[in-house]
Structure 1
Amino acid sequence: MRHPVDARRPAIYLVVGVVLALGAALLGGPAATGAPAGPAPAPQAAAPAQPAPACTEVRESLRPRGPLPAPGAMPAGSTMAAIAQRGRLIAGVDQGKFLTGYRNSLTGTLEGSDIDVVHTIAKAIFGDPQRVQFVVLNIADRATALERDQVDVVVNNFTVTCERQRTVEFSAPYMPASQRLLVPLGSGIREVEDLGGRTVCTSLGSTTEVVLRDLGLQVETLPGIPDCVLEMQRGRVAAVSSDDVILAGLAAQDPNTRVVGRALDTARYAVGMRPDEPDLVRFVNGVLEAARADGSLAASNRFWYTGRLDPVPPPPPPVYRD
């Protein structure tokens, strides 16, 4: 059915047109000059993102400022005071690396040289080394856990690299390490050259992977070194490569393996923290300095690695950038 035409509509349309034209004139639009509106300009392509500058140098850490505050008396407004208020230090660690960070099957507790470092930091904040919530992390998740503010610190064989320093602030190193090979007894493998095209396994996202690929080796990566050991025991890979302190723990667990080869690379383990919490970085460096001075850091290394790693690595002296 046709609807009757409303005679008022042309007048309404005219009024609306006048209002729109006046608005365009006031805003300087196309109607301001009476020129017809042309086609909209084509959107300009976004400029390609500039790649991040290549890393060329590892930065040293931040110097401690003054004496350490007494446990339970963290400076007001500091990151440490916020941790103290929460009642526990949240630390990202591993639970599968014998001697460095592992879960004792008899007690269910986490133990190892890295775990000792976490307890030392907690004791400095609370006066109680047990005030810790441990968060178990895969190698590839360490930096992400800090970026997402899931942990306060990461103490998990965390090697200081220039690339990682884009998103992580590290303490001064507390332990040196050398990258080597773990192989089955009787394999005939003594150096990487003896692999003869066979596969070597290491953890995904580790600096070890980069070194192995740069050597032209056939590499398989898995979430953790224990996964690689299982692959080696099944005969699917010929060797496992990681830091000697990690491999020493694996060899201690499996007497049918041994650590061999020259150092393919050297590393420095440090505590990882968020870049926007420099006060915590300086505090942790003060804690590590005290542990070097009283001998407790070296004593921890001797406890875990004597008879399993020769020589037992001493704590490196700190160097700071400020």
Structure 2
Amino acid sequence: MWASIVIRLCALSASLSLLVACASPETTETLARAYPETTTMGLLQLEGSMTIAVPSDAAPLGFVGRGGEPRGMTVELGRYVARTLDVTPEFISMPADEVVTAVDNAEADIAFTIAPLSEEAVRVAEHSFTSPYLIAHQRLLVHAGDSADEVEDLAGHSVCSFLDPSTGIDLSSINDDVEIVNAASIRECVSSLRTRETQVATASDARLAGMMRALNRHAAGPRWTITGDQLTTEGYAAAVISGSPAWLNFVNSALARAEDEGVWGAAYERFVEPYLGPQDPPEISTEGAAALYPNLDEQV
């Protein structure tokens, strides 16, 4: 008798396992549904809208269009998250280094940041991060007429450096014949490159793309190009308020669905690929991206 029961249970278990294996994680319960009003998703559906903070000065990821409207890859991803919840997206644009404060101050429900994930960043109490929506690398921006392609070729060059201190590499540690000019903004680098005060820029390639876009827009002769080895790897993620794991899981699932449905690919191809070339969606978790930059102060 017990043998018969065990055999039946094993057969049932095998059947269930097969069904689970054949089903994708989201097919049994669609993201696009009505949520209880006790959840963040339900409250947003009740309001009929959600507020999305995006950078205003980080083209092509987030910028202000000619008509004053927000544009960029982050805008397209934000629209998709709102559409998945069946609510209207309301965007607020602000400088990239202030975007995350919109979530901290309850001004936005989600914020697409351009700050690299690190162990220190993900431990901030006020907000939580999704998995990365983009992977970037520190590289070089050089004039097409310059023969320099790598850091080793930059002897005698002045380099405008716009780096996050927790993730960036000082090029003078690789080539001590390089003069480093630190900049507080992308605009500073663009200005110094235009006047030839500096001849090269270094930053994450996602930020170099913004410089390249600004410089090439009015270039009369040889244009600017992103080149060189990938000196670092860093992930950019969206932020949501801490203490709402269900909301974080929803946004993560929506962004994953955006990849599956080609929304991520279309947004990347439209806004980013002209500067950085083809790229697949990130395959790294929040924790994995943060672990690339551990908190060295806590290491023994």
The answer, yes or no, to whether TM exceeds 0.5 is: yes
For the 8 Å contact 2:62–2:71, the answer to whether it is kept is yes
Equivalent residue number for residue 151 of structure 1: 108
Tell me if 1:316 matches 2:282.
Answer: yes
Cα distance in 2 between the residues matched to 1:282 and 1:230: 41
SS in 1 for 2:258: helix
Structure holding more helix per residue: 2
Query: Which of the two has higher C-alpha Rg?
Result: 1
Residue 290 of structure 1: how far off its partner (Å): 1.4
Structure 1 gaps of 5+ residues are: 1-62
Which AA in structure 2 matches 1:164?
Answer: A
* Change over 3 Å in CA distance of 1:112–1:320 after alignment to 2: closer
Structure 2 gaps of 5+ residues are: 1-24, 217-222, 288-300
For the 8 Å contact 1:201–1:240, the answer to whether it is kept is yes
Residue 115 of structure 1: how far off its partner (Å): 1.2
Tell me if 1:245 matches 2:212.
Answer: no
Cα distance in 2 between the residues matched to 1:146 and 1:213: 34
Which structure 2 residues correspond to residues 98-177 of structure 1 after superposition, within 5 A?
A: 98-105=59-66, 107-128=67-88, 131-139=89-97, 141-167=98-124, 168-177=127-136
Cα deviation code 1:182-221 (max 9, x no counterpart): 123334432223343755334475655x323783773413
SS in 1 for 2:197: coil
Cα distance in 2 between the residues matched to 1:284 and 1:132: 16
Cα distance in 2 between the residues matched to 1:127 and 1:145: 19
SS in 2 for 1:298: helix
2:173 to 215, 218, 229: 215
Cα distance in 1 between the residues matched to 2:87 and 2:230: 39
Query: Could you tell me the TM-score, scaled by structure 1's length?
Result: 0.67
Cα deviation code 1:271-312 (max 9, x no counterpart): 1222222222101011012112222212221222344333x1
Which AA in structure 2 matches 1:250?
Answer: M
Cα distance in 2 between the residues matched to 1:250 and 1:204: 13
Moved more, 149-158 or 278-287: 149-158
Cα distance in 1 between the residues matched to 2:35 and 2:198: 50
For the 8 Å contact 2:160–2:202, the answer to whether it is kept is yes
Moved more, 285-294 or 236-245: 236-245
Cα distance in 2 between the residues matched to 1:67 and 1:320: 24
1:292 to 259, 267, 285: 259
Identity %: 24
Equivalent residue number for residue 44 of structure 2: 83
* Change over 3 Å in CA distance of 1:184–1:290 after alignment to 2: same
Cα distance in 1 between the residues matched to 2:38 and 2:272: 39
Residue 250 of structure 1: how far off its partner (Å): 3.3
1:179 to 138, 146, 160: 138
Number of residue pairs matched by the alignment: 251
Cα distance in 2 between the residues matched to 1:308 and 1:221: 21
Tell me if 1:200 matches 2:167.
Answer: no
Cα distance in 2 between the residues matched to 1:204 and 1:262: 16
SS in 1 for 2:248: helix
SS in 2 for 1:263: coil
Query: Could you tell me the TM-score, scaled by structure 2's length?
Result: 0.71
For the 8 Å contact 2:273–2:279, the answer to whether it is kept is no
Residue 110 of structure 1: how far off its partner (Å): 1.6
Cα distance in 2 between the residues matched to 1:80 and 1:158: 26
For the 8 Å contact 2:148–2:154, the answer to whether it is kept is yes
Equivalent residue number for residue 302 of structure 1: 269
Which AA in structure 1 matches 2:144?
Answer: L
For the 8 Å contact 1:225–1:242, the answer to whether it is kept is no
* Change over 3 Å in CA distance of 1:161–1:93 after alignment to 2: same
Cα distance in 1 between the residues matched to 2:105 and 2:30: 28
